[in-house]
Chain A
């Protein structure tokens, strides 16, 4: 079933008699359940004010369409959302509502924050079929509780998004990268040094075959200056500046291209960066690092008991592809609060039941 308006969405949820499997573009099938498919096709930009850096858009709008519209005005989504379709072998086109539901943020998360940090308003339909709005279209808003953040990353389990609003940023006219040919386990120290510098780093990761890499973006002269300073700071790691190839590196990293078309189980850790070297060593498989080591993409042999093998770590691990439970179980008091919220927002338990555990 596909809905193309908020009214249709509310009607469909009210009429539902069993579990629903909420789908945007179907490109992030993580922990997906077995309900009746409800595809959200509420599409189109309803408000875009470049002078106010704000965008309001239907949740089913393809990400590509959103990016093209704002790029035409020299702007971008600050959090650099990445597509996972090719990584997970899923066809279909990523939608902006799917990006929000999974709170997907790319390399620029270390500088500009996560998807939820740029999200300023939502409209959604809860599990009872009631339309609710929260936040709005302004950059600062503390009026009432922040359900905007709660909806981001809730994987469609609390309500189905119909409309989302973002604050945008001007696209940077220039970028450069500083590359260091060092192993993954040694990368975090170098990346921490870069992130602890005053040079406003907008990406810090590690790629197999390339090494550790840091990015700066902004006005041309400023980028040149900061890249030079970072290269000097990171000289002990054999740093070199990469200008022309910079954008391609970050596209590879955001979409985790080294793992495209590969078999094995695929995992995503969000942890304290200084824990990364230990986790990498204990895991043994192949990795790609982002967020200064705070994000580990890991490719391991099928059936590896990854959470046990990688422990101890703070934060959590998501199984993107494999037989393990997709989401890490929460500590008991937190789980109780989450259960309570789900029971209120979706009293019949029909929205993506079981998806987050």
Chain B
């Protein structure tokens, strides 16, 4: 993974820069001891590591602004960090950077059920947003798998999704407003607790901009009343193609489940060995969840059963109790853990048109055989967001590179099928060098123009998203 050469000028001024930060922020908010900054050397893309020059952990928007002003004046690259759970290297530092971590900004600032929003500090974890309101019967919809740990700031940075976004949308569809600090240290309020802010949709632009336009310190989030109930069914099939066809039929039929999850044989086998969820012995399975009252769920599941039966399922298992529902979800939720026990894996995130599922799964199978690495598939089938997991052994020389080459080929196949490189994880450093597969030069130029406006010096997370040779003329140093 190529990264820009760290700025000698910045590294030489480390002591002075740290002293300025210390003078402006509380004593415990600035870390520069290498023994402590090591904790920030990577995110969940742990194959790539680099210790930052310093770490700043502010408690207020004013402290964030003060830190950014100093970094801007000193020409220091800044890497914003929520909880550090990015799978794409979105918060991986560079040697000459200051990591700006939001973990200490985790308060709920306002809860308003009449107007259906909460306002939180952006370092708050995703699950604890719902945690603050669920006793009153409300929830925050986006539910990335890492929701126990990941922060709203990172969710906004990457426009995170989750299993239930088929019905409720991703982060951008549930974000009403932000308080943003620009690299110049200016505090900007965008949007608020109302629909459709005035002017250009800057909120839509900021969501998913991977921390390159500013540091979000507060977020106003749309919240929803909890449905009366929810129940999953598990449907087993004799091939990936048949399961894929069933997904398309369910969607066409006019039923809109909250989730349609897909697992293929390698994934089923691994999770069975890991957590004994009692999944059927089959080539592919779907987990479909419906919401509402008991009668409404029965009505929807009745339709889904009719559709599934046309595809000769190996098994159709409807949860009869809370416990059975949990067991149906158990394997799916343990899938990544199960894969981790087998060995190292790389998780891809390409998205394809739902209609192309069978064709792309076949192509992944061919590529897997060609590269000699096993690929397990577990993903959000309802919206075509695939998560192929490539299994490899990091200790065997050359395997990681082989795995990355296979990953690139799979993502290219997703783009060729009419899809995209990443559906919910973000580009980061991981997919940065593939951007030209999906975009032409004017497409990338238009995006980089946006960064020119928000961060003219290209100091914020600048070595991400855009291929280095494409952004070279703009980046500092």
Contacts and interface: CB of A to CB of B under 8 A. Distances in A.
B473 to A, nearest CB: 15
B439 A144 contact: yes
B286 to A, nearest CB: 15
Interface in B126-178: 137, 158-159, 161, 165, 169-170, 172-173
Which 4 pairs, one residue from A and one from B, show the smallest C-beta to C-beta distance? A149-B204, A170-B254, A316-B198, A340-B453
Interface string B292-304: 1101100110010
Contacts of B255: 170, 219
A315 to B, nearest CB: 4
Interface stretch (A19-27, A80-88, A266-274): A266-274
Given A117-B173, A141-B423, A334 B201 contact: no
Interface string A201-237: 0000000000000000011011001100000000000
Contacts of A200: 227, 292
Interface of A: 49-54, 73-74, 103, 105, 109, 113-114, 116-117, 126, 130-134, 136-150, 152-154, 157-158, 169-173, 189, 192, 195-198, 200, 218-219, 221-222, 225-226, 270-274, 291, 294-295, 314-316, 327-328, 330-331, 333-335, 337-338, 340-341, 344-345, 356-357
Contact of B202 (A52, A109, A315, A337): A337
Given A116-B204, A196-B113, A145 B169 contact: no
Contacts of B353: 49, 52, 54, 137-138
A314 B193 contact: yes
Interface of B: 112-116, 137, 158-159, 161, 165, 169-170, 172-173, 186-190, 192-205, 207-209, 225-228, 248-249, 251-256, 292-293, 295-296, 299-300, 303, 351-355, 380, 383-385, 418-427, 431, 435, 438-440, 442-447, 449-454, 465
A66 to B, nearest CB: 18
B196 A153 contact: yes
9 contacts: A53-B251, A73-B252, A140-B423, A142-B423, A146-B208, A147-B447, A154-B201, A169-B256, A189-B114
A179 B189 CA distance: 37
Nearest to A224: B295
A283 B221 CA distance: 29
Contact of B205 (A137, A149, A172): A149
Contacts of A142: 158-159, 170, 208, 422-427
Which of B186, B383, B440 counts the most A-chain CB atoms under 10 A from its CB?
B383
A152 B201 CA distance: 7
Contacts of A52: 248, 251, 353-355, 384
A146 B296 CA distance: 36
A138 B351 CA distance: 7
Given A52-B251, A73-B252, 4 more contacts: A130-B445, A138-B384, A140-B424, A331-B189
Nearest to A123: B443
B351 A314 contact: no
A117 B165 CA distance: 12
A341 B195 CA distance: 22
Contacts of A316: 197-199
B351 A141 contact: yes
B418 A137 contact: yes
A146 B446 contact: no
A78 to B, nearest CB: 10
Contact of A334 (B190, B252, B447, B449): B190
A144 B427 contact: yes
A71 B209 CA distance: 35
A136 B420 contact: yes
A106 B153 CA distance: 30
Contacts of B225: 195-198
Contacts of A137: 353, 418
B431 to A, nearest CB: 8
Nearest to A119: B204
B198 A330 contact: yes
Nearest to A150: B205
Nearest to B439: A144
